[in-house]
Structure 1
Amino acid sequence: MAVRISKTLLVGSIGLLALVIVLNNLTDYNANFQYIQHVMSMDTVFADSQLTWRAITSSPLQRAVYAIIISTEFAIALLCLLGAVRLAQDLGSSGDAFNRAKATAIYGLTLAFLFWFVGFMVVAGEWFTMWQSLDWNGQQPAFRFIGCVGLVLIYLSLNDSDLAA
C-alpha cells in the first residue's frame, strides 16, 4: 500500500507543479511572455550566429506559441491530477486494476516529459539556440522538470510487485 500511495502522491505533485506553472503564466503573462519573445526572436544569441534565419519575430505568432505552451501545461496538470485521483480510487484494488488505473497518469507524465524535452531542449534549446543566451536560457530548469517527471514516470510504470512495500 505504501508504494501505491507514494506513486499517487508523486503523480499528483507533478500535476500540482504544472497547475502552478499555468497560474504563473496567466497571472504574470507579460513577464513570462518576454521569455518566449526573446527565445523565438533569437535576439540574445551569439552575434555571429549563422542560425538566426530561424528567428520568429511576429508577435501574433509568438503569442500563439505561448497559448499552445499554456494549454499544454494545463493538459499536463489535468491529466496528472485526474491520474492521481484515479490511482487514489484504486489504492485498495487488485494489482491488475491498479495498473489499469495508471493510464491517465502515464499519459500526463509522458506529455510532460515530451513537452519539456521537445519543447524546451529540442525546439527552444537547439532550434532557437537558447543555449547561447546568457539571459534567456531555460535549459537547466527544463532539465530539472524532465528529470523529476522522468523519475516519476519510471517509478509509476513499475509493477508494485517489483518494489518492496
Structure 2
Amino acid sequence: MGTRYAKITLVLALAAFASLVAFNNITDYGSNFAFVKHVLSMDTTFPGNAAMYRAINAPWLWHGAYGLIILGEALTALLLAWGTLALWRTRQGSAAEFNRAKVRATTGLALGFVVWFFGFMVVGGEWFLMWQSHQWNGQEAAFKFYMAIVGVLIFLNQPDTD
C-alpha cells in the first residue's frame, strides 16, 4: 500500500504544480507573456545569427502561442488531478484495477512532458534559439519540470501487484 500512496502523492504534487503554473500565467499574464514575446521574436539571440528568419513578430501569434502554453499547462493539471482521483479510488482495489487507473495520470504526465520538453526545449530552445539569450532562457527551469515529470512517469508505471 505504501507504494500506491507514494504514486498517488507524487501525481497529486505534479497536479498542484501544473495548476499553480497555469494559474500564475492566467492571473499574471503580462510577466510570462514578455518571456514568450522575446523568445518568439528572437530579439535577444546572438546578433546576426543565420536563423533570424524563424523570428515571429506578430503580437497575435505571441498571444496564440502563450495561450497554447497555458492550455497545455491547464490540461496537464486537470488530467493529473483526474488521475490522482482515479488512483485514490482504486488504492485498495486489485493490482489490475490500480494499474488500469493509471491511464489518466499517465496521459497528464505525457502532456506535461510535451509542454515543458517539446515546447520549451525543442521549440523555444532550439527552433527559436532561446539558449542564446542570457535574459530570456527558460531551459534550466523547463529541465527541472520535465525531469520531475519523467521520474514520476517511470515510477507510476512500474506494475503494481497484489
**Could you say which TM-score interval applies, normalised by the shorter chain?**
over 0.9
State, as a whole percentage, how many aligned pairs show the same letter.
44
CA contact (8 A) 2:98 2:160 kept: no
- Amino acid in the other structure paired with 1:90: T
- Amino acid in the other structure paired with 2:121: M
**Secondary structure of 2:44's match?**
coil
1:83 and 1:130 map into 2 onto residues whose CA distance is 33
1:31 and 1:103 map into 2 onto residues whose CA distance is 34
Matched, 1:85 2:81: no
1:100 and 1:19 map into 2 onto residues whose CA distance is 24
Matched, 1:148 2:140: no
- After TM superposition, the structure 1 = structure 2 runs for residues 6-85 of structure 1, keeping only pairs within 5 Å, are 6-85=6-85
1:137 and 1:103 map into 2 onto residues whose CA distance is 33
2:104 and 2:122 map into 1 onto residues whose CA distance is 25
Aligned partner of 2:116 in structure 1 is 116
Aligned partner of 1:98 in structure 2 is 98
TM-score, normalising length from structure 1? 0.96
CA deviation profile, 1:61-93 (whole Å, cap 9, x unmatched)? 110111111011000000001100100000000
Question: What is the CA-CA distance between 1:114 and the residue it aligns to?
Answer: 1.5
Unpaired segments ≥5 residues, structure 1: none
- Amino acid in the other structure paired with 1:7: K
1:89 and 1:4 map into 2 onto residues whose CA distance is 11
1:127 and 1:72 map into 2 onto residues whose CA distance is 19
Q: CA RMSD in A?
A: 1.0
1:53 and 1:141 map into 2 onto residues whose CA distance is 26
1:102 and 1:160 map into 2 onto residues whose CA distance is 10
- How many correspondences in the alignment? 162
Question: What is the CA-CA distance between 1:31 and the residue it aligns to?
Answer: 1.0
CA deviation profile, 1:34-68 (whole Å, cap 9, x unmatched)? 00000000000000211111000100111011111
TM-score, normalising length from structure 2? 0.98
* 4+ runs deviating over 3 angstroms: none
**Secondary structure of 1:160's match?**
coil
- Amino acid in the other structure paired with 2:6: S
